[in-house]
């Protein structure tokens, strides 16, 4: 059904916007938050997909990268969500956050998976996979976006759902 893979995710420095939102608020807030962190990242040397070989986007045109971290499930009520735009590690300025390096299990997601309402199955697959592999989930899950979701065709891969494991 969904292929679970593992990768090493390096430490990242990022511009971050946080908000506690439920699912309806998330859908309204997320596009604007991505635009705001990307605009702020321009002051700190933003990194696009070329800077992150672990995303395996090599032959595709460079795209901005956004990491959305979920500290709870917005479907169940307000949960803290962070939208991050990675910048160069030596970027000057205040207001930047360090996202620690981690070992991550991830699933590549197509637009069709989201449009068909099956994104929750991806998270459940990662939970089952970790348990079945003798691993523990480590920290909150995240979605790493590396292409324009709205411009994607149904079978285009649009982001990864990742979860730290140990």
Q: Which domains does the chain have, with CATH numbers?
A: 5-164 (3.20.80.10)
Q: Of the candidates 120, 119, 102, which has an alpha carbon nearest to the alpha carbon of residue 164? A: 102
What is the per-residue pLDDT across 81-104, written as a single tens digit (0 to 9) for each? 999 999 999 887 777 999 999 999
Instruction: Quickly count: other Cβ atoms within 10 Å of residue 42's Cβ.
Output: 11
Rg of the Cα trace of the chain?
A: 15
Tell me the CA distances in angstroms from 52 to 10, 11, 81, 92, one per residue in order: 9, 11, 22, 20
Mean pLDDT, 10 residues at a time, the chain of 166 residues: 96 96 96 95 92 88 94 95 95 85 97 97 98 97 94 96 98
């Amino acid at each position: 059904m969904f292929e679970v893979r593992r990768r090493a995710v390096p430490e990242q420095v990022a511009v971050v916007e946080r908000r506690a939102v439920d699912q309806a608020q998330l859908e309204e807030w997320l596009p604007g938050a991505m635009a705001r962190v990307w605009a702020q990242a321009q002051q700190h040397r933003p990194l696009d997909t070329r800077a992150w070989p672990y995303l395996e986007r090599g032959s595709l045109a460079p795209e901005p990268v956004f990491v959305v971290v979920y500290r709870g499930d917005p479907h169940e009520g307000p949960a803290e969500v962070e939208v991050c735009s990675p910048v160069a590690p030596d970027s000057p300025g205040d207001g930047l956050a360090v996202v620690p390096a981690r070992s991550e299990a991830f699933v590549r997601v197509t637009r069709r998976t989201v449009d068909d309402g099956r994104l929750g199955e991806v998270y459940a697959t990662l939970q089952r996979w970790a348990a079945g592999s003798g691993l523990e989930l480590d920290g909150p899950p995240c979605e790493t976006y590396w292409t324009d979701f709205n411009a994607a065709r149904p079978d285009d891969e649009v982001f990864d759902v990742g979860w730290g494991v140990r």
